[in-house]
A and B are shown apart, each in its own frame.
Chain A
Amino acid sequence: MSDIINLTLSALINKIKKKELSSREITNAYITRAEKSKNLNTYITTDFENAIEKAKKFDEKGNFNYKLPGIPLAVKDLFCTNNLKTTAGSKILSNFIPSYESTVTQHLWDEGAILLGKLNCDEFAMGSSNETSFFGNVESPVGKKVVPGGSSGGSASALAGKLTPATIGTDTGGSIRQPASFTGTVGLKPTYGSCSRYGIVAFASSLDQAGPMTQDVSDAALMLDVISKYDTKDSTSVNFKRGDYFKSLSSNIKGKKIGIPKEYRVDGMPKEIENLWQDGITLLKKLGAKIIDISLPHTKYALPAYYIVAPAEASSNLARYDGVKYGYRSEGENLISMYENTRSEGFGDEVKRRIMIGTYVLSSGYYDAYYLKAQKIRRLIKNDFDEAYKSVDVILTPSTPSSAFKIGDKTDDPVSMYLNDIFTVPVNLSGLPAISIPAGKDKNNYPLGLQLIGKAFEEQNLLNISYSMEKELSFKNNLQDWWIK
């Protein structure tokens, strides 16, 4: 059994195809480990009985040509799953059972994958440490009382702790890449418009994007093959010619031009992050890439712009949770008091904070000064990238300005929490693809990640460069399974 959970997704697929392992054996292995790993608090909802049934069925008459044949997967609880509770980490949806399936998860099941359950996340994906979830914080397998990052913290923790062979998260300002970086896993945020947003509980519509979280780069390519598809049900889905990402993986990156943006060398950045970045640069040189210094002059405005645009959209997206149609309702004397009671009891502090910020920046008299200005900055940031991509193929930066921190360390200081997203938000504001790969460790032995940012729709380039780096880095988490009971 310990063999099974130590295999990568692609290794598991090979074993299933060769009939060396059955879907039932694999599914059982992950379920057994999950039951011993409750301490991590990764799952909000499990669907183990159904998973075993489905695995049995797959073993009896499954299609072994599928891309994910009989593979059990747990997914972030932001994806609506037909007939299985979908909470978005919130009390207000704590009793919500969708009658429909998100497009992205549907693609997984259509390729033979089996749902294990729904993974914890920050409430409505708002958070960088998985501490805002109504269902409690998640612990990271990398260390006791360490945050897994957020908002896809449950996904990152489950993946690093080997409770699922791979998973999917969503990334609005870094919610895939930052937890991947904190947990020593690979996280890919595809180009905006690659993966359908249909059926994903919305946080900030113009920034939200689903993506794979995996043990290595090959698995990320494989998962991207499955979930990146044009969808007419999402008006922002883009009908571009997608690559055959897994098959086209190549570690030959000779002559690739890598940009190093000077603005990412921020004040107070720990030495270990600086060193990590330098080592990355050295490695890329060794692999035959060309290093080019670039400037992304508006970078410093990205975080403030993000914390206007995202809350603005969120304040409107979350208006539908009003107690009238579904979800949590608190009674009231009249409609208004029912709204007030439902929403004050149903939402947590961080969500309320962002609803208030968003409502404020959209209100008449402030719209031009905040929302409109933030949109202009967003354009400037995008222009910075466009300009840089005239001379480089991808951009290398650290994924986060620090390694994972302890639970409770930043909960009283929202701004220092927000600063965690400083390297990831410019990517969402520009709609670009980016990947975080594990590249080293800090003094506590907590993982550190490097981020590669690509041109729009050029995920293959990103995957190839990170694939070649991964081979050389041969990063290992070496977890002690301290949480297993």
Chain B
Amino acid sequence: MSKNKEYLIKRGNSEYEVIIGLEVHAQVLSKSKLFSDSATNFGAEPNTQVSLVDAAFPGMLPVINEFCIKQAVKTGIGLNASINIKSIFDRKNYFYADLPQGYQISQYKDPIVGEGSILLDLPDGEKKVGIERLHLEQDAGKSIHDIDPQNTLVDLNRSGVALMEIVSKPDLRSPEEVNLYIKKLRSIMRYLGTCDGNMQEGSLRADVNVSIRKTGDKKLGTRCEIKNVNSIKFMQMAIEYEANRQADILEEGGSIDQETRLFDTKKNETRSMRSKEDAHDYRYFPDPDLLPLELTEDFISKIKKEIPELPDEKKKRFVDKFKLTPYEANILVSDIETSKYFEDVIKNSDIKLATNWITGELFALLNDRNLEISESPISSKNLSTLINLIKDGTISGKIAKTVFEIMANESKDPKNIIDEKGLKQQSDPKEIEKIVDAVIKENPKNVELFKSGKDKLFGFFVGQVMKKTDGKANPKLVNDILKKKLN
């Protein structure tokens, strides 16, 4: 990587490198909670998805939901990580109104998934980011402070929902790498169906660890942890702010306090939440209500068989088999639905054209209307037909854009649109020659100028021909014939 592409914080003569590690909390895609059979639907009426276990009634006991275990193992495999045959659920003890048990069941020393990695696609190559671990834990409920002026209200619907905490190594170096990391992680989990990655609904949030050190230094600086950031944009803003804050302190000869900070999205700044001295003593110990979790090789190998082709493999296949550029392949594989759509389209049509139309026109359309590809008004079948109509010369690329616009609004078969609107391309050379002759005849002055060297006027003649044919003339034929006649 060339020096000038690095993300560095400059202060006077000093340059600081930014070291970032993420603890991502990903909600496990599961109909029921980690230790109870309550539902997990987002947006349900408060306290309607709460069992006696979730509300920690006396004598209630947790029972592991096997599906959540499966999801965690699946995610571990997707992160190229080692799966721990034996893992232990611990209690993390602290008091809070939305934590009914007075402890969170989590995994402390023995997580279900060990070290793995994620591959990022940077403009100048790939970068491997280490995964430290993945562990399962319960989510807490929600304290609501802004409904009642006097009281805090508690909603326990989220209490006990399964989360995967995915901890990266401190391998990230810029806000952009964080962006790519989160997107890649989300993409992998969506491929696997283990987390919907919906950040608006809180299914994916992260604690961001930031430290800085002078370029060339080997030793890591003191880090600050920014808690519970729930969008990529905010993560990037928080890192930017925090790195600069730390650089200011160091530059003035100060030192960084290890602390937990909050990101204020309105003021775009991080604020101290609690110092290391005030850190909770969580008094972790193995939950005596749960036996150590022991997986069988058979359980793991069955899950391995269910792993679909993941983004990295798919990208490789797209490059090798379809001759896409790595850049194009990346765009098409980042979302599993997009990759499916693409593969549907190219079953019966030209790959190059399909790539351009999907990454160009279709993405613009979806972006414009804020739609997922699964909601596209243009089906993969219709897009495939359109591409074939371009390929066989039935319509020009330009007309195709008009047809595409109509398809976007009417979701019709492009063939019907072309028939209805009479948009079929004129490809009879004799017909085009007649029109070209007419245009030359009508514009003697411009013909004169063109012949005297004003080459740019060629476009004018093409335009005139197109005008006379409502844009339907085959552009290649028009060009050829015009060239012949004018020279």
Contact = CB atoms under 8 A, between A and B. Distances in A.
Contacts of A131: none
Interface residues of A, number: 42
Contacts of B285: 312, 316, 362, 367, 371
A88 B59 CA distance: 11
Contact of A316 (B52, B63, B91, B100): B91
Contacts of A322: 95, 102
Contacts of B154: 324
A236 B289 CA distance: 7
A236 B287 CA distance: 11
B59 A325 contact: no
Contacts of A197: 59, 61
B64 A235 contact: yes
Given A197-B61, A325-B56, A205 B100 contact: no
B95 A339 contact: yes
B302 interface: no
Nearest to B290: A235
Interface in A428-474: none
Contacts of A427: none
A100 B103 contact: no
B97 A335 contact: yes
Interface string A288-326: 000000000000000000000000110110111010111
A316 B103 contact: yes
B55 A325 contact: yes
Contacts of B199: none
B215 interface: no
B101 interface: yes
Interface string A180-203: 000000000000000001111110
Contacts of B281: 363-364
A260 interface: no
Interface in A259-278: none
Interface string B43-71: 00000000010011111111110000000
Contacts of A335: 96-97, 152
B353 interface: no
A204 B289 CA distance: 10
A201 B103 contact: no
A316 B59 contact: no
A416 interface: no
B305 interface: no
Contact of A201 (B58, B93, B284): B58
Given A100-B57, A320-B56, A325-B100, A204 B288 contact: yes
Interface string A112-127: 0000000000000000
A202 B103 CA distance: 15
A235 B58 contact: no
Contacts of B59: 80, 98, 102, 197-202
B291 interface: yes
Residue in B57, B152, B281 whose Cβ sees the most chain A Cβ within 10 Å: B57
B483 interface: no
A235 B286 CA distance: 14
B283 A364 contact: yes
Contacts of A364: 281, 283
Contact of B289 (A96, A235, A325, A371): A235
A236 B101 CA distance: 19
Contacts of A359: 283
Contact of A319 (B57, B63, B101, B289): B101
A206 interface: yes
Contacts, number: 94
B386 to A, nearest CB: 56
Given A324-B154, A364-B281, A316 B93 contact: yes
Contacts of A326: 57
Given A312-B285, A316-B283, A198 B61 contact: yes
Contact of A205 (B55, B57, B284, B289): B289
A86 B283 CA distance: 29
A262 B62 CA distance: 41
A202 B63 contact: no
B283 A235 contact: no
A129 to B, nearest CB: 23
A233 to B, nearest CB: 6
Nearest to B287: A205
Contacts of A204: 288
A102 B59 CA distance: 8
A185 B52 CA distance: 36
A284 to B, nearest CB: 35
A93 interface: yes
Given A100-B52, A316-B103, A359-B283, A233 B63 contact: yes
A232 B95 contact: no
Nearest to A198: B61
Contacts of B288: 204-206, 236, 313
Contacts of B283: 315-316, 359, 362-364, 367
Nearest to A86: B58
A319 B95 contact: yes
A456 to B, nearest CB: 15
A288 B62 CA distance: 47
B60 to A, nearest CB: 8
Nearest to A232: B63
A94 to B, nearest CB: 13
A481 interface: no
B214 to A, nearest CB: 32
Nearest to A358: B283
A324 B61 contact: no
A246 B62 CA distance: 32
A235 B291 contact: yes
Contacts of B100: 320, 324-325
B290 A319 contact: no
Given A363-B281, A367-B283, 16 more contacts: A86-B58, A100-B57, A198-B59, A198-B60, A233-B61, A233-B63, A236-B288, A236-B291, A315-B283, A319-B102, A320-B100, A325-B57, A335-B97, A363-B283, A364-B283, A367-B284
10 contacts: A88-B58, A98-B57, A198-B59, A206-B288, A234-B63, A235-B289, A318-B102, A324-B97, A362-B283, A364-B281
Interface of B: 52, 55-64, 91, 93, 95-97, 100-103, 152, 154, 281, 283-285, 288-291
What 5 A-B pairs are tightest by C-beta distance, nearest first? A319-B102, A205-B288, A206-B288, A362-B283, A199-B59
Interface of A: 80, 86, 88, 93, 96, 98-100, 102, 197-202, 204-206, 232-236, 312-313, 315-316, 318-320, 322, 324-326, 335, 339, 359, 362-364, 367, 371
